[in-house]
């Protein structure tokens, strides 16, 4: 199953189910809220409201509009360790990153003016049930699904997190979302390419660690780390970034003038840009 959050107007969002080329609105403001409901899988398969031309837009919003827990794997690809001139870590390191803004596909980003902003494609793991101190052997049962994430962050600054465009439930992907190709392009030039099979620490290991530190709740997000080459070029006004994971989808964003405070500007365009690989 594929779920998304649509931006119907500048002030209204709605969760939706994507069935091939058809979208069905669900009675929840976003996918994160849907996941907090008991038996969310049953709610997801209800008939719902077919999307009609009377709706103003089918542009995707952030998959989750309120993020309680956001944990990032710091170095989880050997290529990234080599880029940092350090040996691969012997155990996973998770960062709890403060978030200043959540963004969706096609949103225009006004980022902090810090010169050392890091970004990159990451596999996002969305939690689907209360999870505390879960052993690795049972950790994948806590996964609602997987999504694409691009986190823009600089040392000492809160992050802007782009998440979406869809949540693909775990049953539609290989176990632990292994074997998926990740790519990232800056201004049309490929900057990252890797495979989730290259992760040093798999999804189950990261969930085990995260849940040993804090209770994970439905809608919480863990990202599995980004490959090398995230600092190849500095971002500038007009930078166009595309990150993608085969089998899940793509996120397209543009960086606006970075001399003003961090915000997310909704692109005033309509028409569905859903991608399904």
Do 76 and 53 belong to one domain?
no
Do 28 and 136 belong to one domain?
no
Residue carrying the six token digits 């008939």: 47
Which ranges in 1-142 belong to alpha helices (H)?
A: 31-35, 40-44, 78-83, 136-139
pLDDT for res 204? 98
CATH code of the domain containing 76: 3.90.850.10
Per-residue pLDDT reduced to its tens digit, 173-204: 999 999 999 999 999 999 999 999 999 999 99
195: containing domain: 70-265
Which ranges in the chain belong to alpha helices (H)?
A: 31-35, 40-44, 78-83, 136-139, 203-213
65 inside domain: no
Do 79 and 50 belong to one domain?
no
Do 154 and 206 belong to one domain?
yes
Weakest-pLDDT range from 195-199, 209-213, 233-237: 233-237
Do 229 and 179 belong to one domain?
yes
Do 159 and 238 belong to one domain?
yes
Query: Regarding beta strands 221-223 and 70-73, do their DSSP bridges make them parallel or antiparallel, or are they unpaired?
Result: parallel
Do 37 and 167 belong to one domain?
no
How is residue 213 written in tokens? 């530190």
277 inside domain: no
Number of domains in the chain: 2
Do 53 and 91 belong to one domain?
no
101 forms beta bridges with: 160
Count other C-beta atoms under 10 Å from residue 247's C-beta. 17
Weakest-pLDDT range from 32-41, 76-85, 105-114, 256-265: 256-265
């Amino acid at each position: 199953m594929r779920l998304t959050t649509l931006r119907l107007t500048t002030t209204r969002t709605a969760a939706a189910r994507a069935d091939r080329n058809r979208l069905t609105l669900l009675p929840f403001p976003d996918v994160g809220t849907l996941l907090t409901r008991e038996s969310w899988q049953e709610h997801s398969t209800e008939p719902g409201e077919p999307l009609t031309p009377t709706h103003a837009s089918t542009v995707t919003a952030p998959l989750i509009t309120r993020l309680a827990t956001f944990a990032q794997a710091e170095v989880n690809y050997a290529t990234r360790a080599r880029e940092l001139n350090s040996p691969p870590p012997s155990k996973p390191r998770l960062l709890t990153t403060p978030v200043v803004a959540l963004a969706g596909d096609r949103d225009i980003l006004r980022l902090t003016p810090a010169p050392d902003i890091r970004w990159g494609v990451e596999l996002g793991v969305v939690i689907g049930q209360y999870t505390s101190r879960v052993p690795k052997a049972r950790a994948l049962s806590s996964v609602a699904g997987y999504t694409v994430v691009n986190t823009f962050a600089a040392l000492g600054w809160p992050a802007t997190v782009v998440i979406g465009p869809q949540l693909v439930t775990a049953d539609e992907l290989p176990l632990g979302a292994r074997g998926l190709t990740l790519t990232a392009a800056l201004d049309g030039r490929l900057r990252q390419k890797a495979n989730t099979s290259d992760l040093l620490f798999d999804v189950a290991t990261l969930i085990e660690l995260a849940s040993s530190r804090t209770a994970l709740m439905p809608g919480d997000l863990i990202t599995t780390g980004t490959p090398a080459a995230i600092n190849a070029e500095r971002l500038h006004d007009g930078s166009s970034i595309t990150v993608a994971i085969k089998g899940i989808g793509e996120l397209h964003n543009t960086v606006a003038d970075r001399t003003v405070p961090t915000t997310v500007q909704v692109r005033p365009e309509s028409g569905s840009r859903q991608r399904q690989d």
